[in-house]
Chains A and B, each alone.
Chain A
Amino acid sequence: MSKELVKGNEAVGEAAIRAGCRYFFGYPITPQNEIPEYISARMPEVDGVFLQAESEVAAINMVYGAGGAGGRIMTSSSSPGISLKQEGISYIAGAEVPCVIVNMIRGGPGLGTIQPAQSDYFQATKGGGHGDYRMIVLGPSNLQELVDLTYEAFDLADRYRNPVMVLGDGVMGQMMEPVVFPEMRDLDELPEKEWATTGRGQRDETNLINSLYLDPQDSYEHNMRLADKYARIKENETRFKTLHADDAEYMFVAYGTVARIVRKAIESLREEGHRVGLLRPITLWPFPDEAFEQLVEQVKGFLTVEMSTGQMFEDVRLALNGAVPAEFYGTTGGIMPDYRDVAEQMKKTMDKVGDAS
């Protein structure tokens, strides 16, 4: 298959269409505008629906209605807009409506900046909305992975009847890279959704999309059933990649765009003879705790690098549970780390850990 040179945001749009997404509801916000723009042009070609909603609040509730009615649905936004969607995401998780949400993160808090950031990690992986729910969060690191994960996100959403978030950032949306698009899904082969509110038709029972459980025992059981599902997702879907895990004495932990910068730092450090590697979580929830368990025997220290003041770092520390030292380096508010600074920070980590041992 031939490679096409595309912009990240447009790649998301095309990947979604190919995955069988036929309904998109969104509201403009930089730096993800090319997603709704691309889809608004593309949907009519595949008899799909693009609708610009009056707000992100309305958009996510359209997603809830449309997903509940059985469609393959996506919405996209960037940080301030994703904040507005949180109520809807909580309802979607509670009522178990499959859908895909893309967040091309920009710097915050508040109106922040339109420059890239990773400062919505907490919001994405720790709830954001109210209640004891989890969302599958995918953190692609290059455009091919962005395409592949967006494509697969719809299947994950359907398989678990759960919202799935693709967590990118402003750079990923704007940059261009060659990608190979997966084939167009045959809509007739998508799974039947016998639970959807299609109108009762010939069914004996009516269908209900709902997150209200007034009786505390019912509510408890609903939550425990969700917890079982989340445990299954963790068991089956946790993903990560490593680089130089065979010989690394020190490891970076990074995801998304930052992982690319870290790779460059690793190249220069290895040229100088340092045995450094990378652990790159692909699913940010479920977080790949086990990957750390396998590495602590061999690795002397971990340096987490993020475009935040240390959000994923908390998960890294929980996963390591004090087994080996964990250090952090971050840039925030829309500034990207420079690979030379990243390499320098690793040297500091090595000195610090080396001195201590």
Chain B
Amino acid sequence: MKAAFRRPESLTDVQTHYCPGCVHGIVHRITAEVIDELDLQDRAVGVASVGCSVLAYDYFDVDFQQAAHGRAPAVATGIKRVRPDASVFTYQGDGDLASIGTAEIIHAAMRGEKITVIFINNAIYGMTGGQMAPTTLRGQKTTTSPYGRDTEHSGDPIRVCEMLATLPGAVYLERTSCHDARHIMQTKRAIKKAFEVQEKGQGFAMVEVVSNCPTNWGMTPRESLEWVEENMIPYYPLGEFRSPEEVE
């Protein structure tokens, strides 16, 4: 009998600490599936960032380095330069990538660093308890924007794909979402492509996954997914911002 559902080889048999309904778990799983499908488990080296996914090294059954807050693209650069044959990926939240780590992500993209970046944009600092992120939407309430994000005071949220799309080295940039099965499948296709771009040595590849944080948004998982669709996607439009075909 064919197994309809089983754990990917590249995921460990460890229960994650993610909250019920959190998209982190889904993205871990589809990333592991991609690593299996592309037969990369023996060559993959992951870089865990600082945020809710800090323990990603416990969940992926591949070599890993844990990086300081925001520095994952620099750490991945170091690994890739020593091990050009490895398949090196970072897994970063929006506080990590779009706030404290902006210099590192921009310059890794500028250099066309041959790494794969999985960027989880949930518009909030999950791990530290729901503070405002640079990606927090206008008017969105967080523990450090209790009256809602005031753009006069804090500016407008940062759109990372659009910003990186000005850099020739960033050959593949796509924004996806995980709010329903169809979009999850699209996210998986994008992550696969982002690993393939690295395999072909084309340059920097990043998938931004518009995600949720039911816990700190104060919503049920279902409400949070609806909120992604109704509020996040209008500001963070889905699609390819740079496509590797343009490079070929």
Contact = CB atoms under 8 A, between A and B. Distances in A.
Interface stretch (A198-206, A231-239, A259-267, A270-278): A198-206
B92 to A, nearest CB: 13
A51 to B, nearest CB: 7
Contacts of A127: none
A279 B54 CA distance: 47
Contacts of B71: 57-58, 61, 64, 88
Nearest to B87: A199
Contacts of B53: none
Interface residues of B, number: 35
B98 interface: no
Contacts of B44: 199-200
A211 to B, nearest CB: 7
A70 interface: yes
A64 B70 CA distance: 14
Contacts of B57: 208, 210
Contacts of B87: 199
B81 A51 contact: yes
A91 B69 CA distance: 11
A58 B82 contact: no
B67 A64 contact: yes
B65 interface: yes
Contacts of A87: 68
Given A57-B103, A199-B42, A199-B87, A208 B64 contact: yes
Interface stretch (B72-80, B133-141, B164-172): B72-80
Contacts of A319: none
Between A53, A91, A202, A206, the greatest number of chain B beta carbons within 10 A of the residue's beta carbon is seen for A206
Interface in A190-217: 197-202, 206-212
Contacts of B43: 199-201
Contacts of A59: 74
A53 B74 contact: yes
Contacts of B64: 197, 206-210
Contacts of B196: none
A228 interface: no
B66 A58 contact: no
B65 A197 contact: yes
A55 B74 CA distance: 10
A200 B79 contact: no
B156 interface: no
A71 interface: yes
B150 interface: no
A62 B80 CA distance: 10
Contact of A62 (B55, B68, B74, B106): B74
Given A54-B107, A206-B63, A209-B66, A198 B78 contact: no
Interface in A22-73: 23, 25, 49, 51, 53-55, 57-59, 61-71, 73
A66 B62 contact: no
B83 interface: yes
B82 A23 contact: yes
B59 to A, nearest CB: 11
A86 to B, nearest CB: 11
Contacts of A210: 57, 64-66
Nearest to A50: B81
B178 interface: no
A217 B141 CA distance: 37
29 contacts: A54-B106, A61-B71, A62-B75, A64-B67, A64-B75, A65-B47, A65-B74, A65-B78, A66-B78, A68-B75, A69-B82, A71-B81, A73-B78, A95-B65, A197-B45, A199-B44, A199-B45, A199-B63, A199-B86, A200-B43, A201-B43, A206-B62, A208-B57, A208-B64, A209-B66, A210-B57, A210-B64, A210-B65, A212-B54
Interface of A: 23, 25, 49, 51, 53-55, 57-59, 61-71, 73, 87-88, 91, 95, 197-202, 206-212
Closest 4 CB pairs of A and B: A65-B78, A66-B78, A65-B75, A61-B74
Interface of B: 41-45, 47, 54-55, 57, 61-68, 71, 74-83, 85-87, 103-104, 106-107
